[in-house]
Chains A and B, each alone.
Chain A
Amino acid sequence: MKLNGNVPEGDLKTLWEQHKFNMKLVNPANRRKFKAIVVGSGLAGSSAAASLAEMGYNVDCFCIQDSPRRAHSIAAQGGINSSKSYPNDGDSVHRLFYDTVKGGDYRAREANVHRLAEVSGNIINQCVAQGVPFAREYSGYLANRSFGGAQVSRTFYAKGQTGQQLLLGAYSALSRQIKSGQVTMHTRTEMLDLVMVDGKAKGIITRNLHSGSIDRHAADVVLLCTGGYGNVFFLSTNAMGSNVTAAWRAHKRGAYFANPCYTQIHPTCIPVHGENQSKLTLMSESLRNDGRVWVPRKKEDVEAIRKGTKTAKDIADADRYYYLEERYPAFGNLVPRDVASRGAKLECDNGLGVNETGEAVFLDFSAAIERDGYEAIKARYGNLFDMYQCITADSPYDVPMKIYPAIHYTMGGLWVDYNLMSNLEGLFVLGEANFSDHGANRLGASALMQGLSDGYFVAPYTVSNYLGSNKQEKVSTDMPEFEAAEKAVKETNQKLLDINGKQSVDDIHKRLGKMMWEYCGMARNKAGLEKLVKDTSELRKEFWSDVSVVGENADLNITLEKAGRVADFLELGELMGRDALAREESCGGHFREESQTEDNEAKRDDENFQHVAAWEFKGADNEPERHIEELEFKHCIPSQRSYK
């Protein structure tokens, strides 16, 4: 089936304004008759919940953590893009739009990205008015930096804690609505199923993570803002609780899952230290503005460094291979993430990795410290350097950092149309949980922008349009659909508790992660992906016959929480394998070894794959169906990306 993104007709530049005018409104007195369920309290969820409540809708908001302020968005470090063009360096809505489409390797919907670039200015206005303390110049005006390969300075930041400050801004707006009673906040509550009534999303089933009670919630519309699925790899930079469960259970109820194989591998993370490792730590991309990436040219220097008989300082400049600078003279260390990550993998595969595991490269600040001085570097990166030292016991002021790529972000997600509605009526998906704006590769500082764009400036209008243009039959939690969904959730949980096998949930999750990293990581090929599909499906069967989950359902049970999430990751992993297998081209974060240029760069196949792949669930043991949404590029003409 060919999917339709429901992009309205018209001139791209005025499309969103025109659409806003054409969309149905709900009059203020009627808004209080509607209820919206917002699952998630990250940037997307908090901003949507607060904005809908301000308009007068009743909102029930849910999150897993003990406070909405602790959603994973809090961890974003580097910054948020906006087309404000305050530095007067040639930026514009069109340039941000163009860079984002190109950065996404021509696999995103033009109209969505244009809207994102358009509203990006308002996001900054909104945040400043909330009291978000962005960095400022001595003049008192806002400071900007260039980020992740952009040739203009369009990134706003708050030290290395931009996500924290933006989320606390959205959380403050949400808090105000909680106080006023317009939002009911359900913390420590996990959505475990979506309830469909007559083909429309009308509610959810949740588990209270303290009491274990399974509860029903009805509403007129459901917004999923539940973040990304990077933890399918076990080790990632995501918070420990990040998961795919809400999106996956909606997928099992009919929502299409788009481009699951598009995952982002961030080039600058602290390398893995050992088997007990629970997560990976990102070192902000901004570090590449001043840090130089290198490995030794000679194998004997590599050996000496690994043995500890030499340090980075002992390697003469001529013996250092600054591979990004040499290979990409125009962009140097600032090539996009996918290119930088693959570069590190290539050198490490060539045996030039600089730690015991052979999976690390240097990120060196000595030249920058010499050029700008210790104080300047400290002012720019002090907290990141401290974080690095806290984890590794090395000081980046004295010795180069060691870094290696890690899973960081997932571009794939539930399929949505221009209005951010999934193929299921009344189910909207916002933020990282949807697939929409980043194509096959996300540029730095654009996830925060998208989350807030979706939540503050898109969904409030499109959700109103949905509520205003369809008759909303009121539903109650007594309906058989709710009863059936609740029963199914309880049965699944009981099934997990009854397995009584020998392996721990983490044992299986770690094995899944290794498979995903090996076959669906930085480079993929047909044979590997076929193996992945087979292996994940076998691992899933092993999980359901040999996992051990202690405790009970009707109680606080952290093992059961994890088990439910891993069960979903296992099914997702298989789908990612299928998606990567079907996409016989390289694009963005998806590098298919069979599809590369002579100098080992990614080669797209626009003729056959200039489309979104959206998968329909057909039962865990059946092959899913691949639907297609064709992409059209009228304003950004696809070219082979080159950063030479």
Chain B
Amino acid sequence: MSSNGKLLKLTLKIWRQKSRSEKGFIETHEMEGISTEISFLEMLDTLNDQLERSGKAPVVFDHDCREGICGMCSLYINGQPHGPAKATTTCQLHMREFSDGETIFIEPWRSAAFPVVRDLRVDRSSFDRIIQSGGYTSIKTGSAPDAHAIPVPKENADLAMDAATCIGCGACVAACKNASASLFTSAKVSQLALLPQGQVERTERALNMVAQMDEEGFGHCTNESECEAACPKEISVENIARMNREYLRASAISRK
């Protein structure tokens, strides 16, 4: 670990918006003495501390685990979902990625299916509804067979795990010019399609989850791959191809 790092002077341009129906605007804040060792959210904590001390409303932004796993944090930072570092959530981003004197733009995810709640916080319940439409196996508690009853080829198990790594943050939607939720949805469809346990409900799952995605107002995928580039968990667009195959297969079967 390097010493205590350098101190940065920064200009923040932050989106403020009281509610979904009110108009938002950019607010400017000058920050001094920000250590390169602290995280991006700790830098925002510092700002909020200053705001609260002067009796002003702190900037509302989502966060919880601060370890890159809960999917709560979001933010467009200088136009990039989760900021400049590859495969990194906003909460794991550190100030050493920024330089002295820099101006940083901080905005919420922008998508019709993710309405702004306040400032930088958006409503991502559309993602929950997509999972509710079929992202499960209908096994009741207590009725499962022995875990070793069905072996799963390691390769499939590993691919399922890679897909299951999705944290549901929504960066894929935020990065997509069509605001498509295909990467998120395909990660769950793929995980279950790759496992024997997911086979029985495979058809309905593909149909229902894709339908829900449309119903929520997400756009269509036109293979831009911006989602994969922005995804902090490096979920592969191969999952979208798999979902499309699942969907075609399901459509063919269900037409019978």
Contacts and interface: CB of A to CB of B under 8 A. Distances in A.
Contact of B152 (A136, A179, A278, A394): A136
B148 A142 contact: yes
Contacts of B88: 390
A124 B138 CA distance: 16
A10 interface: no
A165 B165 CA distance: 8
A361 to B, nearest CB: 13
B9 interface: no
A175 B135 contact: yes
Given A65-B64, A66-B124, A69-B168, A277 B38 contact: yes
Interface stretch (B21-29, B42-50, B244-252): B42-50
A377 interface: no
Contact of B58 (A179, A390, A559): A559
Contacts of A178: 128, 132
Interface residues of B, number: 78
B117 interface: yes
Interface in A123-164: 124-131, 133-142, 158-159, 161, 164
A159 B49 CA distance: 37
A240 B92 contact: no
Interface in A284-311: 308
Contacts of A138: 154
B57 interface: yes
Contacts of B96: 393
Contacts of B65: 70, 72, 74-75, 239-240
Judged by DSSP, the binding face of B is loop
B141 A165 contact: no
A129 B117 CA distance: 37
Contacts of B161: 133, 135, 158-159, 165
Given A67-B124, A172-B131, A556-B118, A276 B45 contact: yes
A278 B42 contact: yes
Contacts of B198: 131
A66 B42 contact: no
Contacts of A556: 60, 117-118
Contacts of B2: 393
A3 interface: no
B154 A137 contact: yes
Contacts of A69: 71, 128, 131, 168
A122 B144 contact: yes
Contacts, number: 223
A47 interface: yes
Contacts of A137: 154
Contacts of A457: 141-142
Interface residues of A, number: 83
Contacts of B52: 504, 548, 550, 559
Contacts of A391: 39, 92, 94
A68 B71 CA distance: 11
A484 to B, nearest CB: 32
A219 to B, nearest CB: 20
6 nearest A-B pairs in the assembled complex, by CB-CB distance: A140-B151, A172-B136, A129-B144, A125-B144, A133-B161, A51-B141
Interface of A: 47, 50-51, 54, 65-70, 72, 74-75, 84, 86, 122, 124-131, 133-142, 158-159, 161, 164-165, 168, 171-173, 175-176, 178-179, 185, 187, 210, 239-241, 273-274, 276-279, 281-282, 308, 355-356, 386-387, 390-394, 402, 456-457, 460, 504, 506, 548, 550-551, 556, 558-559
Interface of B: 1-4, 35, 37-39, 41-42, 45-46, 49, 52-53, 55-58, 60, 62-72, 85, 87-88, 92, 94, 96, 117-118, 123-125, 127-128, 131-133, 135-142, 144-148, 150-154, 157-158, 160-161, 164-165, 167-168, 191-192, 195, 197-198
6 contacts: A122-B142, A128-B197, A136-B154, A137-B154, A140-B151, A172-B136
